[in-house]
Amino acid sequence: MTRQYFGTDGIRGTVGQAPITADFALKLAHAVGRVLKRTEAKPTVLIGKDTRISGYMLESALESGFNSAGVDVVLLGPLPTPGVAYLTRAQRAALGVVISASHNPFEDNGIKFFSAQGTKLPDAWERDVEATLRQAPVWADSANLGRSRRLEDAAGRYIEFCKSTFANNLTLKGLRIVVDAANGAAYQIAPKVFHELGAEVIAIGCAPDGLNINKGVGATHPEALIAAVKAHRAHLGVALDGDADRLQMVDADGRLFNGDEVLYLMVDDRLRRGEPVPGVVGTLMTNMAVELALQARGVPLVRARVGDRYVLEELEKNNWLLGGEGSGHLLALDKHTTGDGLISALQVLQLCVRSGKPLAELLGDLMLFPQTLINIRLKPGQDWRASARLESETLSVEAELGQDGRLLIRASGTEPLVRVMVEARDADQARACAQRIADTISA
């Protein structure tokens, strides 16, 4: 059975349009509550959110839906997605709920869930929830309704957890760091984490008004961070997205480091300390230069489908710890059960402090291959996979690139598009090869 509402990362859409409406949120929570009660008599769920104005509406609706099914609710207030995952596990709750559309604009919102272990739930659980949604509600009577309370120190607990992942014998004293929280869930938390570890912190993107999340700031708009680092002559800059599970970093020269480079630095930190790194998981989009650099150090890279849940699945299958995406979703499973922008930043800062070297020097000769990405809109009914001409052109491009480049052709999961990506040591070659494939599909 296919899922009607759940996508790759929960349920997401435009506020006021199905399914991101108050009535659907209530029905969803009621259905989830009924699923939980099949295995636990009186379950408790935690609800956290980012700073979108619609979060108030969805929070109230979810709270009522859970209570109506006889489920207790603990409200966390604004808290990063990984913070909800952590507290769900720490509080021994049955489920964690996050109200957020991550890096999307404020007009969107979403609802996603974490298991009692702080991990994302399997497709089978989501299908079970959708099947229950189609059934008539079973309202709890007055004596068996759920209760709600607020966890007043949720932010403080998560701050201490983040700090615990940074080596006790190290400090950030002497570092001036610009922190950009995207006017999102980490707007209070992120500056405190770095300040309490000793850094001088300049905060930007930390003044949410319900409408400005991700607007011109954060990991998806790093130009704001680059400008602030230069203006304040900071040593480093850290940018998160709206729910703080995504990270981009900037050095004192204003150079931006994406998730692929940060992942390599996290591996480098382990190797320098003599810790084994049996393998790393990237995605189909991970830059080939990172793959080659890891292989040169004896660390294999396995590519998963695009999406942090698929990276996690591959890590668990191989029993590995480190993985991530170029977008900045990074996983260190010995530190946290899910991607966490703050914890990822702290792992890189440890390396900077220990080595006394800036990010660019730590990356050494690692130079990302130029990538060209072209989106081709398909004609109605077009079966691009059956094209003999495309097959021939693909073989020609792959032969031309050889060991110094890579071609990736994949269909969009949400639009009638084919995405063509070519990377090569030479930018002109990457562009030319990508255009050849695009022209073949368009013909």
Last residue of a domain, one of 152, 183, 200: 152
Is residue 420 domain-resident? yes
CA atoms within 13 A on the CB side of 143: 0
Last residue of a domain, one of 98, 128, 152: 152
Say whether both 122 and 185 belong to one domain: no
Does residue 115 carry a catalytic annotation?
A: no
Is residue 1 domain-resident? no
Is residue 273 domain-resident? yes
Say whether both 304 and 162 belong to one domain: yes
Is residue 232 domain-resident? yes
Q: Which residue ranges of the chain lie beneath pLDDT 50?
A: none
Is residue 4 domain-resident? no
Is residue 200 domain-resident? yes
77 Cβ contact list (under 8 Å, min separation 6): 48, 49, 150, 154, 155
SS3 274: coil
Say whether both 44 and 168 belong to one domain: no
For 365, counting Cβ atoms within 10 Å of its Cβ (0-12 exposed, 13-18 middle, 19+ buried), the class is: exposed
Q: Tokens 């690692």 sit at which residue?
A: 366
Say whether both 162 and 146 belong to one domain: no
59 Cβ contact list (under 8 Å, min separation 6): 47, 49, 75, 99
SS3 364: coil
CA distance 87 to 293: 36
Q: Which of 54, 64, 100, 102 is flagged as catalytic?
A: 102
Q: Are strands 148-150 and 72-78 parallel, antiparallel or unpaired?
A: parallel
For residue 230, the enclosing domain spans 158-363
Task: Respond yes or no on whether the N-terminal peptide bond of residue 19 is cis (omega within 30° of 0).
Answer: yes
Model confidence, pTM: 0.92
In CATH, what number is assigned to the domain containing residue 409?
A: 3.30.310.50
Q: Are 119 and 311 in contact (CB under 8 A)?
A: no
Is residue 3 domain-resident? no
Say whether both 147 and 296 belong to one domain: no
Last residue of a domain, one of 310, 342, 363: 363
CA distance 190 to 210: 18
CA distance 203 to 181: 8
Say whether both 346 and 378 belong to one domain: no
pLDDT at residue 413 in the model: 66
Say whether both 242 and 378 belong to one domain: no
Into how many domains does the chain fold? 3
Q: Are 78 and 59 in contact (CB under 8 A)?
A: no
Say whether both 283 and 407 belong to one domain: no
Say whether both 144 and 207 belong to one domain: no
Say whether both 165 and 305 belong to one domain: yes
pLDDT at residue 1 in the model: 58
CA distance 230 to 248: 16
In CATH, what number is assigned to the domain containing residue 24?
A: 3.40.120.10
Q: Are 347 and 253 in contact (CB under 8 A)?
A: no
Condensed to tens digits (0 to 9), the pLDDT of residues 205-260 reads 999 999 999 999 999 999 999 999 999 999 999 999 999 999 999 999 999 999 99
Q: Tokens 């942090």 sit at which residue?
A: 308
pLDDT at residue 9 in the model: 84
**Residue-by-residue DSSP string for 97-143:** EEE--TTS-TTEEEEEEE-TTSSBPPHHHHHHHHHHHTSPP-PPPGG
Say whether both 144 and 171 belong to one domain: no
CA distance 192 to 157: 12
Smallest CA-to-CA distance from 158 within 74, 82, 248 is with: 82
pLDDT at residue 15 in the model: 98
Say whether both 378 and 354 belong to one domain: no
Smallest CA-to-CA distance from 88 within 33, 151, 144 is with: 151
Is residue 306 domain-resident? yes
